[in-house]
Amino acid sequence: MNILQIVPEMNVGGVERGTYDLAITLVKKGHKSVVVSNGGELAEKLWGSGVIHYKLPVHEKNLITMSRMAKEVTKIIREEKIDLVHARSRVPAWIGFWASRKAGVPLITTCHGYYSTGFFSHVMGWGKFVIAISHAMARHMVENFNVPHARIRLIPRGVDLTEFCYRGETAAQPGKEEKEMIIGIVGRLTPLKGHADFLRAIPRVSQQYRNLRVWVIGDAPKEKQSYLTELQTLVRHLGIKDSVEFLGHRSDVTEVLRQLDLLVLATVTPEAFGRVLIEAQAVGVPVVATRVGGVVDVIEDEKTGLLVPPSDSVTMAAVILRVLQDPVLAGQLSRAARQRVEQEFSLEKMVEKTLAVYQEALEHKRILIIKTSSVGDVILATPSIRAVRQAYPKAWIAVLTGSESVPVLQRSSYVDEITAYDAKRRHRGWIGSIRLGNELRRYQFDLVIDLQNNKTSHLAGFLSFAPRRYGYRNGKWDFLLSHRCKDWKKQIPAVQHQFQLLHFAGIKTKEEFLELWISEADQEKTQKWLENAWVSANHKLVAISAFTSHRWVSKRWNTGRVAELMDRLGREGIRSVLVGAPGEESLARDLMEKTQSNPINLVGKTSMVELGALLKRCALLVTHDSAPLHVASAVGTPFVALFGPTDPQRHLPPYKEGTVLYRRLSCQPCYKTRCPLIHHQCLESITVEEVYQEVKKYLRDPSTSSLDKFGTSLRASEELQKRKTNS
């Protein structure tokens, strides 16, 4: 793998040391390792190690500089053929985010501290995976930045055990107070590190140990120089000036730790991890620390160290004395701590886990498929969803679809998660679109397949921040796509039209058949409805879908003719089952009043999946161009479909058995939701006798239906063909 790490600077510190150790180890394991930073002491040590270092001002919180650096890092990614970018701080994360998106490679972020909850910090949760160095940091990212648990990877910091060798036990013996005792505190000089609390504990300890030495290791940031003066003043006021030494920054931390009898960490705010603790434990120095944040991940109280409340100098002094005065306890703590560091906090463990995350990020794609239109159209998308799963068997696949279509895909083995698109409320308007983008970004998709291809879907894909977004070049905000497919063949069936886009995205397609996932509960519910209607097991049933949405009135056949068809079937001993969507109950009641037979009225009672179970039981479906037609195709039920204003060549689903009645008039297809002509001839010219005879064919022998190369039988009477020619 070719890995790029990006950090603000490479001076001595926990973040920088972790970056350095990982970079060196990656090279040793045969990977290409690149680091981008503003330079520093550790950057100079990279020379000759095989690690490539680029010095750039990636630490400056300046939008112009950040934008310029994003372009520079993009060039580096391409020139060095980088596979993955790993950012470890906020400014580098912003730069890495835009550069990785531009170059089309994954981004990993590692959270090393408690970030403010402002927008600027949210980028730390935008990595494909977010590495947390402790459970406390993982909770911080989940609770404050809404990062899903599924994208969190827990990887504690690691220490190089060959550098931090175990020194053995050197604690003081009872009664040997003349031995010089050295207590150290390591960390940059800021009030958050609790130096003042630590120093206030020292007078109580020095009363017991006259030869006590206290080392304060670490320097003050430029903006905190006054704090060093405050601490020096506090030391004089406490009367411990002769015992305390401010050693400043030390590059030989390992050697310093070896000389300590005890290390104290006095942080007053939640600590992300506390790297110095595992360094001291690796060497064999017992530790005392405040019970804050990620410290509890490192120290098992009374087993590998001792924990005290923050800002409690009295308790801290008592616990320090307890360790110094009990060499047996000190030895037990140091031995147990070293053993745990070897098991959980070694550099080898950290690198192993990090490489596993890198591999997962590269191999396991996160894919979003967008299809937000009607339920029938979502069923038509099942071959495409299946093809994506076959192309990416290890991928995590989500589908963005309308709320009413969610049940259709809930049991699909091809989909890992379904996100409901609520166009009427939650995701309505610009604010709703922004909200949708925020929801999608939580998943950090690598790839978007836009099967909807309208303005809303193109915007949703763009706001997901997926680096690769495939859709059609159709003038509907297609500039938001990263890869635009020319819609070179429009007048083809919907499934083939979707496959055309998949081929453009490099996804091979196979079978076109539709799928619907029906449970035993759905089948049992359907059987109960039929039993209540006194339907026997050998009774032939014909399902009738007589209605369409309120918008598409032009697709409906005359209800009087539907009633006549049901009556004729009833006289033949064939029971009709009237099906329809919720909201069509009043239309069903009007139709029932027109028929003299006794059809089973299930309008508004079935879900789309339950309708599939019902159609499996039926011998045939008579329908318009609507969702039940697609359901019938998915479950393998033959149909007789009446097409009027829409083109069956485009909208007919793939199927095995079926007949399409379509007149091919000069005004067809018009795609008008209401017929502009009074006579509505495209459907009115289809007679009851014609439909009845087609139904009878299937009830006798389905193989008698004629199928053309598209799997359709487009029937038109000679009279109407002549009428079309004359017109």
Grade residue 699 by pLDDT with cuts at 50, 70 and 90. confident
| pLDDT score, position 704 | 42
- For the ranges 148-157, 254-263, 679-688, 701-710, which has the lowest average pLDDT? 701-710
Q: Per the structure block, which two tokens stand in for 197? A: 């609390």
Kindly tell me if the per-residue pLDDT of 8 is higher than 90. Answer: yes
| pLDDT score, position 723 | 39
pTM for this entry: 0.74
Rounded distance, CA 211 to CA 262, Å? 14
| pLDDT score, position 178 | 59
Which domains are seen in the chain, by residue range? 2-154 (3.40.50.2000), 181-345 (3.40.50.2000), 364-504 (3.40.50.2000), 520-726 (3.40.50.2000)
User: Tens digits of per-residue pLDDT, 562-594?
Assistant: 999 999 998 888 889 999 888 888 888 888 989
| pLDDT score, position 336 | 94
| pLDDT score, position 499 | 94
Kindly tell me if the per-residue pLDDT of 215 is higher than 50. Answer: yes
Kindly tell me if the per-residue pLDDT of 714 is higher than 80. Answer: no
Rounded distance, CA 607 to CA 407, Å? 8
Grade residue 678 by pLDDT with cuts at 50, 70 and 90. low
Rounded distance, CA 354 to CA 203, Å? 44
| pLDDT score, position 713 | 39
Rounded distance, CA 705 to CA 712, Å? 9
Kindly tell me if the per-residue pLDDT of 717 is higher than 80. Answer: no
Kindly tell me if the per-residue pLDDT of 293 is higher than 90. Answer: no
User: Tens digits of per-residue pLDDT, 548-566?
Assistant: 877 788 888 888 899 999 9
Please report which helix (H) or strand (E) contains residue 262, including its range.
strand 262-265
Distant-in-sequence, close-in-space partners of 607: CB < 8 Å, separation ≥ 6 = 407, 522
User: Mean pLDDT across the chain, nearest whole number?
Assistant: 88
For the chain, give the percent of residues with pLDDT over 90: 56
SS3 258: helix
Grade residue 712 by pLDDT with cuts at 50, 70 and 90. very low
Name which residue leads in pLDDT, 651 or 2.
Answer: 2
Grade residue 701 by pLDDT with cuts at 50, 70 and 90. low
Amino acid at 232: Q
Q: Are 294 and 274 in contact (CB under 8 A)?
A: yes
Rounded distance, CA 194 to CA 312, Å? 10
